[in-house]
């Protein structure tokens, strides 16, 4: 069965430090992978997505993610974190059962705190 694992429930980084949020997936076919961010009291905003091609994907707000098929991973990175990046981050895989649905399977999220 398809699944997404985000091993880190909560991460705290200092402002200006680099960030890496981990995501591992289990999916039989070529995965469609997404990172969403949820700010407090807000909906989910798409940061970036991977479908095919270059395994290093650039997103909004200075984020990037690298797809590594051999490790079944799609980790999110940012070289220098800003206080406004404090939010919850969700990794998701798009499950396409022969076109019957484009359900997203989400990880449990990683809550990022940024300290001054």
The residues binding other proteins (CB under 8 A) are 4, 32, 34, 36, 41-46, 49, 51, 90, 92, 94-96, 99-104, 106-109
Q: How far apart are the first and last CA of the chain?
A: 41
- Nearest approach in angstroms of CB 77 to other proteins is 21
Of residues 98 and 116, the one with the C-beta less far from other proteins: 98
Of residues 15 and 22, the one with the C-beta less far from other proteins: 22
- Nearest approach in angstroms of CB 56 to other proteins is 18
For 39-77, the DSSP string reads -TT--EEEEEEE-SS-SEEE-GGG-EEEEEGGGTEEEEE
Of residues 4 and 87, the one with the C-beta less far from other proteins: 4
- Nearest approach in angstroms of CB 100 to other proteins is 8
CA 21 to chain centre: 7
Of residues 18 and 26, the one with the C-beta less far from other proteins: 26
- Nearest approach in angstroms of CB 19 to other proteins is 20
Neighbours of 18 (CB within 10 A): 11
Type and span of the H or E element at 26? strand 24-26
HSE at residue 75, side-chain half, CA atoms within 13 A, is 10
């Amino acid at each position: 069965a398809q699944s997404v694992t985000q091993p880190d429930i909560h991460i705290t980084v200092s402002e200006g430090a680099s960030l890496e949020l981990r995501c591992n997936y289990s999916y039989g076919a070529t995965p469609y992978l997404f990172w969403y961010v949820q700010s407090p009291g807000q909906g989910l905003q798409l940061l970036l997505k991977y479908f095919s091609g270059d395994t290093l994907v650039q997103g909004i707000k200075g984020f990037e993610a690298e797809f590594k098929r051999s490790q079944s991973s799609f980790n999110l990175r940012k070289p220098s974190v800003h206080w406004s990046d404090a939010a919850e981050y969700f990794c998701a895989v798009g499950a396409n059962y022969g076109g019957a649905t484009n359900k997203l399977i989400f990880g449990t999220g990683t809550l990022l705190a940024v300290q001054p």
